[in-house]
Amino acid sequence: MPKQGYAGPLERIDDCCWRIPQSYKSGMRVEGRIFADERLMEQIRADQAPEQVANVAFLPGVQMASLAMPDIHWGYGFCIGGVSATDPAEGGVISPGGVGYDINCGVRLVRTNLNREEVQPRLGQLMDVLFRGIPAGVGVGGPFLFDHKELRRLLAEGSPYLATRGWATPDDLEHTEAGGCLDGAQPDFVGKRAVKRGGDQCGTLGSGNHFLEVQVVDEVFDQPAARTMGLEKGRICVMIHSGSRGLGYQVCDDSLAALRKAPAKYGIELPDRQLACAPVDSPEGQEYLGAMRCAANYAWANRQLLMWQTRELMADFFGRPWESLQMELVYDVAHNIAKMEEHEVEGRRRVLCVHRKGATRAFPAGHPDVPQRYRQIGQPVIIPGDMGRESWVLVGLPGSMEKTFGTTCHGAGRVMSRTAAIKHAQGRRIDRELAEKGVIAKCRNWKGLAEEQPEAYKDVSVVVDVVHRAGLAGKVARLRPLGVVKG
């Protein structure tokens, strides 16, 4: 993460939005817009993420504005929290930097009928069981092994393939974004090394900011929406955050190498080579999309298998089938992805390539892509916090379609690099500090907890407050962490 801050212009539009004028840099095709309030602006100015918002405005075919959510921080090419929609009909491009290395990193929430009172006395034992039973850590494989033929089907079909193996229910698929599968996935476009890395990692947590967290519904703000989701104050939930593991990372790495010369080939001038891109309709663009969709499908299958293992472990621990525990999927959302979606721009419906990097889809009530169960309230939006602070459940609002191509934030957003966080944690026991807050933290090593300490992140409640006030997503429930498993 760059140490120097952003020194360019930021003009206030309203209480929750700021503008980088198109005149800031010659070559910007649209303005930049950052959703934030004054509380967050000091942190946002501290690195070069706003500069990246301006750079994304150079992309051919970009529509309306280059956008950033309040959890914005510096990333590869696009900032984390960056959103951009391009129109293929106007030469619009696809950029791997607008998706990220961990393709379809995302989060899912599982509710239960367990109350805090019955779980708290056994919480330590439960976290030991989950820590031993959920594969986690760098390069760690899991119990689900797929041969070449099976893996090709998984890449092409995602979670629906798992349903044919008995590892997913129709309800699971219904409450996963896109049904757990992006059409148009092309396994032939996934390199051999990526395939090799994915052979034994589906159903594993990984490392970094990925986690499995046991939480309690701490407060409900929208009773009808919470009731529809099956969330009640005092009830236990499980949140799972993971992505496409080594397979997705390799797909991104291979694609960036393949696209290195594409901008020059298509006469595209960019201010940052990390924004390497190609027209959506070009052979290079279609190859990346085909491979990216495979990695996205892999990630949905990964979270599905993580949930399946969690169900089995908790069923055994509590001595009741998971169905009896009502361990049902509330929703699963992606937050590193590019999707072809229909949106209205300047009064005209267009099919756009929407990049969401560290950003979450937030479609409102009535949208046809929202599952029938939630059609009247809007799509569930899941915003995890850090290990020591709350996470949030929201619903998409109409303002998201008007302002952000149906998008909101994806988390709290880092304020410290991992290197800085480790330095800040020297001489401390993060696990003991979390225990003093009532959170049991299980991790493979000290470094993992140090990198993800609460101080490394913005206050998620402030971030969520901005998207709520901006009309992008509405608060439904606050969830407090009780125990967390990290790689």
Per DSSP, the chain holds a count of helices (H) and strands (E) of: 17, 19
Residue 381 CA to residue 374 CA, distance in Å, equals 11
Task: With CA atoms as reference, report the closest residue to 271 among 32, 85, 45, 53.
Answer: 53
How far is it, in rounded angstroms, from Cα 362 to Cα 473?
Answer: 7
Torsion angle of alpha carbons 215, 216, 222, 224, nearest 10°?
100
CB of 122 closer than 8 Å to CB of 236: no
CA dist., res. 291 & res. 245, Å (int): 14
The active-site residue, picked from 210, 343, 367, 410, is 410
Label residue 51 left, alpha or beta by phi (over 0 means left) and psi (-120 to 50 means alpha). alpha
Which position has the token pair 């820590």? Answer: 131
In the residue annotation, 367 being an active-site residue is answered as: no
Provide CB contacts within 8 A for 29, sequence distance 6+: 22, 57, 58, 59, 60, 62
Q: What is the dihedral of CA 250, 75, 364, 389, to 10 degrees?
A: 100
Amino acid at 283: P
**469: part of which helix (H) or strand (E)?**
helix 460-469
* DSSP helix/strand/coil, 238: strand
Tokens representing residue 143 in the block: 């119990």
CA neighbor of 271 nearest in space, from 74, 29, 46, 64:
29
Dist. CA 37–CA 177, nearest whole Å: 29
Token reading at 414: 């880092």
In 304-345 the beta strands, taken as DSSP E runs, fall at 328-334, 336-345
Please, what is the Cα angle at 468 between 462 and 473, to 5 degrees? 125
Residue 211, beta-bridge partner list: 241, 486
Q: Which structure tokens are listed for 481?
A: 């962490």
Task: Give me the residue label for tokens 């939630």.
Answer: 374
Q: Which residues pair with 86 in a beta bridge?
A: 62, 353
Residue 399 has a CB neighbour count (10 Å cut-off) of 18
> What length is written for the chain?
487
Neighbours of 447 (CB within 10 A): 14
Residues noted as catalytic: 410
